[in-house]
Structure 1
Amino acid sequence: MKGPSRRLFLQFSGLAALLAACAPPKDSREETHAGAFALLRRRWRESALGHPGMFDPAREPYRTRLARLGAQARRHRDAMAPTAGSLWPDLPFPSLGATPARLRAMARAYALPGTGLTAEPGLGTAVGAGIEHYVRHVYAADAEQTGNWWDWQIGTPRSLLDAAVLAAPHLTDTQGAALCEAVDTFVPESRLDDYVGNSTGANRVDLCTVTLLRAIAGADPGRAALAAAALSPVFRYVTEGDGFYRDGSFVQHGSVPYQGGYGAVLLTGLATLFAVLRGTPWEITDPAARTVLDAVDRAFAPFVHDGACMDLVRGRGVDRRAFGDHRRGREIAAAVLLLAETAPEAERARWRAMVKGWAVRDTVKPMLEAAEGAAEASDLAFHARLSAVLGDATVPAAAEPAGHRLFPMSARAVHRASGWCAALSMASSRVAHYEHGNGENLRGWHTGSGMLYWWARGHGDHYSDAFWPTVDPYRLPGTTVSTRRLPGGAGGEWGDTCPPARWVGGATDGVYAAVGQHLFGLESTLEAFKSWFFLDDAVVCLGAGITCRDGVPVETVVDNRRTGARLTSGTGWAHLEDHGGYVVPAGQSLRTLREDRTATGVTRAYATLWLDHGVDPDAAGYVYHLMPGAGRAATAARAADAGWARVLANTSAQQGIEVPSLGVTAVNFWTDGRAGGLAASDPCAVLVRDLGDGTATVTVADPRRELDGLTVTWDRPVAAVTRGHPLLDRAETGARLTLTFGALADREGASCTVTVRLRASVA
């Protein structure tokens, strides 16, 4: 890309001169603070809108976008008609979102080069006058806070303060003081005293951002220090409620996994604050801030697939708009690239490669094109950062990392193998079945009943393109549900839909996994035990103890694909062309349905496959294999190979399989007992893998998080333990292996792996 023009530097220099000209003389300490606040104003602008040298406003696509922004700002300025009831005739007060957003757009046109209104006094004065009018009539210090608290304490003040900071040279002292007084009323310093309620997680980051902007607008060093210091609780790992967990989970609203909603907001906010505060007296120096860097790889990246953020961590936002998952993926990518600018070199290199990989693979909604066409001026900075990464031959496009990631503290799992990816959404005593609120996601009842998402090559839009409005909400893929009709918004709002289940989670060695859910239906008598065994080319799905007294049929939905693809079947199998295959062992009747479903003016084709357990089943069960991306011949061949995966147990006491070709034996012990060659003294998950080189791994976990001790026995001759674990208290080798572990409850559901050297069996 051609370097920035001289005109660009002059535009930024002129703006900086205007900012400096408004500062009165000060003593030495005040001069230090004045310099710091000048730096904060510049950094604020650069973090959101880009810095000199990032892009050339005279070149496309920036020239057209900037000109469009300037034209929009001119229209807004010219249409302003202040009255007691509005600032613009088409936006009657209170207009808590739209009116401040227009003022911010005008201020951005003032601050950005190439808009035709850069540093234009008339535009800056109009921004100041608009802020003054809005503060007098709506956002006044003596106004009554009505409606959603978020508008008054985060959304509205952030937009107004953003506009005020960007157009600072043309705000009078009176205008600035009135705005600061109003913000102080609704977001007083005491708002950040306690890390509770709606001042946690992403909300806390937003409140700190508002506090910092208020500090910049009023040149208040005390508030700047408070904004930085009040972030510290966000950096601490939590064991319950909102925040980051050590396993990579992120929760908001107490019980909702939310990397793709509030989490993305939090990451964006922290990346911005790190960039803005760097090199100032209020730079973030808390060592615990390392949690944010770790979260990029542990909490966010696992849930981004080919540029889209998976819906199982998007809370009530899943049905807001088509392709919202790709939009959230771009937001996360933008935050990661911004955070990379202040991160250590190792993280910077890894993240740039990771984002490049996402962008290269997202052919559904290509990131660069989407950023170019987005309405927000801040997307110009993301476009420039991403363009630089894509154009840098020294930055490789990182591939999707193969393997399994289990998030026991948020009842989620993500599995990646060659050519496909799957993700599992469950509910537990600490994780909601679903979240609804503000009229959103009213039919998401069963997303926590074991919904199994999966993507094969070429299907990056499967859950993006009108899936949520048109899918049958009683037949979500992978779920076991009572077909009892539910009202919209059944269960409590804001994630207050947690069932009593404690055994939810599983064991993983990072490659394969045994995951289970003790299922209790939402507003239903349904109870079931569900297990998923994630392998190289398949997910083996088991259900047992399916019992219900709702007086209606109970179904297990093998799949519900948004497709009109050809569906064929044979003895014990079914196949969807260009999607994948399903193996359903003998004794089960697989039912199918082809239908077109219409909602909100769109129609989509669906292929549904399910197992009908009948009305009020008593201890019903199922077994099926999902084979993402498999061809019809491979599916039929797997169905003919009855010994490929042997079911060791499928009851409400244990569920387990053995896959000899992979050396895998895995059992979810709902109670103590034995299944095949494995035995456990207490409820747990066990995954054993013969590595084929004379060694094997034994992985155990305590999904209930309550074991003081656990003994696991494997009927396999073992010579020695070659790698133990801190919680391994005792190991007995010989004709069989016995492992005794200590307090697994302290592991918060995480897996413990022990490596052993096998010995030949004695004939």
Structure 2
Amino acid sequence: MILKGWFVVLFFLFCNINSSFGFQKSDFEIIQERVFENYQSSPATDEMDKDISILFTLIQPNGSFKDLNYADKSMTKWEPDKHIKRLGKMTKAYTRASSDFYQDDKLYDGIIRGMNYWTSLKQEPISDNWWWLSISVPKEIGGMLITMKYGEKQVPKDLENKMIEWMNKTVSITKSPGKDGSNLTDIAQHMIMQAVLTENSDLLNKAVSVVSESVRITKGDGIQRDLSFHAHGPELYMHGYGREYLLGIRNVAVYIVGTSFSFKPEQIALISEFVRNGYLRSMRGKYIDYSVIGRGIARVNATRTNSGLVKQLKAIDIEDHQQEYQDAIDRIDGKKPVSYKIEPRNIHYWRSDYTIHQRPEFLVSLNSSSTRTVRTESGNGENLTGQFLTEGAMYIAVKGDEYFNIFPNWEWNKIPGSTTPEINPLKKRTNWVAERGNVDFVGGVSDGLNGVSVYQMNAYNTRANKAWFFFGDKVICLGAGITADRVETINTTVNQSRLRGDVSIGNENEMQVMNSNSTKIDKGPIWIYHDQIGYFFPNSQDIELSAQNQPGAWADINGNSSKKTINEEVFKLYINHGKNPKNEKYSYILMPGIESTSALKEVDLTGIDVERNDEKIQAVSDKGLNLLGVVFYEEGTFEWGENKLTVDKPCLVMLQEYSEGKWNVNLSDPTQLLKGTVKLNLKVDGKSKNFNFSLPDDDYAGSTISKPIDLN
């Protein structure tokens, strides 16, 4: 039915575009119109006209702009690119009927002078970053030259050809970095523009073909089998490069709809699946999980987005999905609450060591790294202190903005969820550091609603078996075997977020507002509440809590940013395991989406039991949900009450009794190295049965296998 829907959509678009008044347009004409319309879609006319007025004061008689350094070679914020961007804006004003500068002779003269200056520079502008001349400059040139086709006066042909020559100064699309993910779709876009400008059918066919070939499940950069997205190797980039890829695909799709080059229905269907079950899943309203944007975490406002791209993607999807897109758009735009139409779900993206647990009240995610995946990279002077971003990092969001622009003020040795040494200061990473994790036992098991995830950490001379039980509206977090050979204190960070409102501490009967900037708690059980999130520590642990200003600067994490000190009040909660801990452990429960301390008192935890928490097995049961989750670090038997669960290989198991004697059993291999089967024996109430679980392979390795078990 889905593919049938796609054929209807594409057939309608083809007929609508090509059959108006019986006039048959060529593919070049159709694509040219699409590029022009897309290029003119921003900025707003009023904003644009104000900028044009300013540009008139900056442009020189020779066509240069007096405020630009054309000899600049910077990796980021490369100044010569501004010359091209300004010319692009000028061409938009010249060809937009609503602009005060529409068909303005003075503006046309400035455009031509600016192009002549660019093409006659004796020392051609060059950057130390290949991206500027391979993607940014040629895309802008393509857009502006096509736009000028709609002007009263045209760009002289010889000058147009000189500008087109700059579109050829790009890296090859047959090898990295040009062939990878969003880089490929970006380069292909300006190849399509150049093909239209020169009416080159071979170039057009080549550009569309390479993009079409990228719309597939891959083991390299791009969309993975689990609908996560990789860039720069097996590095999670659901947003960032994932967003750029989607933007490129959307643009190309719009350019070629109604032509003989249109995407196949199954290709658009895959893009739709990635958007709806990958890209949008890592967002809470208009805010993005900080762990899925790579080194972009070090950029101002990087975790906040708008609905523009989602609206554009909605326009190329089928009718069946339109409401789902609109719901997301309404949440992003703030027209509906962030909880609107959010369905409960748990997804483990086994190709990326990434888990999300979603309820209408909250979004919690977990990001780890294994030998199969790459830790969050640094590059271009960005993300200088992000060494610990994949050490079990957690995003705990109710409103969505809990971490918005907090990153200059973070203590980066205390990433939420991580167990790490308190290295202070953290050594800033050199350019382009992207290392794989160094353990195999990293993964998750999920039934779609609940799940168990694990990270057997062994890094920075620190070891810890870390497990998360995502059960209903709670997350039970366990750590065992915490051992380190370090001079620094080892901490497990529970959270580090923006301080908003009071912090309350107490027990199930009474909560009191913390009246100091910091405190230490070593007696349990203890409850802590802040900003609609409850924290429960069931036993005595060395807990440290801070609620105060933490000054910082963007330059601390991004070498291209301001050194101006920013003051931000920060809530910071962590467990101190001391120096050189030996076989230490922790346990705590997260309860996001609790509206008040009064509501926290109503939370019932009596049905949740930490059944076992050691180096061999970690297990939690939830009697209210009839759930049991078990992490087996080695083959063995787990006993709870008179019941037993035995496996012959290390694995993750989650069981739920849905009727007396009837169980749904979910199992996965977090190492993704096991072959054949896992033998499981379940004994409950004296009844016992053996079962074999056949393990998936190839790019399904690590995914969940589900099987019903009837002990009756």
Give 1:592 shift. Answer: 1.9
- C-alpha change, 1:92 and 1:187, in structure 2 (3 Å) is same
Conservation of the 8 A alpha-carbon contact between 2:458 and 2:464:
yes
Give 1:716 shift. Answer: 2.7
Letter in 1 for 2:692: T
Conservation of the 8 A alpha-carbon contact between 1:256 and 1:432:
yes
Query: Is 1:337–2:337 an aligned residue pair?
Result: no
Deviations 1:614-659 (A, max 9, x none): 11112211111111133435656768x5x53222221222211111
**Quick one: higher RCO (CA 8 Å, sep 6+), 1 or 2?**
2
List alignment gaps of at least 5 residues for structure 1.
1-30, 52-61, 365-396, 718-733
Distance 2:690 2:105 in 1: 79
For residues 324-723 of structure 1, the aligned pairs below 5 Å read 324-327=302-305, 330=306, 333-360=307-334, 399-456=341-398, 459-464=399-404, 466-485=405-424, 487-490=426-429, 493-494=431-432, 496-521=434-459, 524-564=460-500, 565-570=502-507, 571-600=524-553, 601-630=565-594, 631-632=596-597, 635=600, 643-676=606-639, 677-692=644-659, 695-708=662-675, 709-716=677-684
Q: TM-score, normalised by structure 1?
A: 0.80
| Paired position in structure 2 for 1:223 | 203
Deviations 1:150-194 (A, max 9, x none): 01111111112211111134211101111222322x137xx23x2
Give 1:297 shift. Answer: 1.3
Conservation of the 8 A alpha-carbon contact between 1:256 and 1:495:
no
Percent identical among aligned pairs is: 21
Distance 1:716 1:693 in 2: 10
Larger mean Cα displacement after TM superposition, 568-577 or 229-238 = 568-577
- C-alpha change, 1:117 and 1:38, in structure 2 (3 Å) is farther
Which of 54, 66, 90 in structure 2 is aligned with 1:89? 66
Deviations 1:519-542 (A, max 9, x none): 133xx1111110000122211000
Query: Is 1:158–2:139 an aligned residue pair?
Result: yes
| Paired position in structure 1 for 2:29 | 38
- C-alpha change, 1:401 and 1:358, in structure 2 (3 Å) is farther
Distance 2:292 2:424 in 1: 25
Provide the aligned length of Structure 1 versus Structure 2.
645
Letter in 2 for 1:586: N
| Paired position in structure 1 for 2:262 | 283
Letter in 2 for 1:215: A
| Paired position in structure 2 for 1:393 | none
Conservation of the 8 A alpha-carbon contact between 1:408 and 1:504:
no
SS in structure 1 opposite 2:68? coil
| Aligned structure 1 segments of 4 or more residues deviating by more than 6 angstroms | none
| Paired position in structure 2 for 1:724 | none
| Paired position in structure 1 for 2:118 | 134
Conservation of the 8 A alpha-carbon contact between 1:544 and 1:620:
yes
Conservation of the 8 A alpha-carbon contact between 2:378 and 2:434:
no
Give 1:235 shift. Answer: 1.3
Deviations 1:12-61 (A, max 9, x none): xxxxxxxxxxxxxxxxxxx98x843232221112234349xxxxxxxxxx
- C-alpha change, 1:98 and 1:128, in structure 2 (3 Å) is same
Which of 239, 249, 261 in structure 1 is aligned with 2:228? 249
RMSD of aligned alpha carbons: 2.6
Deviations 1:432-490 (A, max 9, x none): 3322111111122211111211122xx332111x3101111112221100113354433
SS in structure 2 opposite 1:128? helix
- C-alpha change, 1:578 and 1:500, in structure 2 (3 Å) is closer
Letter in 2 for 1:218: T
Conservation of the 8 A alpha-carbon contact between 1:591 and 1:610:
yes
Distance 2:299 2:401 in 1: 15
Give 1:233 shift. Answer: 3.3
SS in structure 2 opposite 1:354? helix
| Paired position in structure 1 for 2:83 | 99
Distance 2:361 2:340 in 1: 15
Larger mean Cα displacement after TM superposition, 225-234 or 693-702 = 693-702
Distance 1:688 1:298 in 2: 25
- C-alpha change, 1:667 and 1:471, in structure 2 (3 Å) is same
Larger mean Cα displacement after TM superposition, 415-424 or 114-123 = 114-123
Distance 1:148 1:586 in 2: 53
Distance 1:668 1:257 in 2: 24
- C-alpha change, 1:128 and 1:347, in structure 2 (3 Å) is farther
> Would you tell me which structure has more helix in proportion to its own residues?
1
Query: Is 1:739–2:691 an aligned residue pair?
Result: yes
SS in structure 2 opposite 1:501? coil
- C-alpha change, 1:282 and 1:566, in structure 2 (3 Å) is same
Conservation of the 8 A alpha-carbon contact between 1:707 and 1:744:
no
- C-alpha change, 1:220 and 1:451, in structure 2 (3 Å) is same
- C-alpha change, 1:77 and 1:163, in structure 2 (3 Å) is farther
Larger mean Cα displacement after TM superposition, 466-475 or 107-116 = 107-116
- C-alpha change, 1:750 and 1:112, in structure 2 (3 Å) is farther
Distance 1:173 1:302 in 2: 48
Q: TM-score, normalised by structure 2?
A: 0.85
| Paired position in structure 2 for 1:295 | 274
Conservation of the 8 A alpha-carbon contact between 1:583 and 1:638:
no
Larger mean Cα displacement after TM superposition, 243-252 or 749-758 = 749-758
- C-alpha change, 1:594 and 1:335, in structure 2 (3 Å) is closer
Deviations 1:490-544 (A, max 9, x none): 3x654522221111111000111100011133xx111111000012221100001
Conservation of the 8 A alpha-carbon contact between 1:573 and 1:581:
no
Deviations 1:78-125 (A, max 9, x none): 532154xx7111012143321111111111222333111234454344
Distance 1:711 1:96 in 2: 63
Distance 2:348 2:87 in 1: 45
Give 1:320 shift. Answer: 0.8
- C-alpha change, 1:131 and 1:161, in structure 2 (3 Å) is farther
Distance 1:341 1:636 in 2: 46
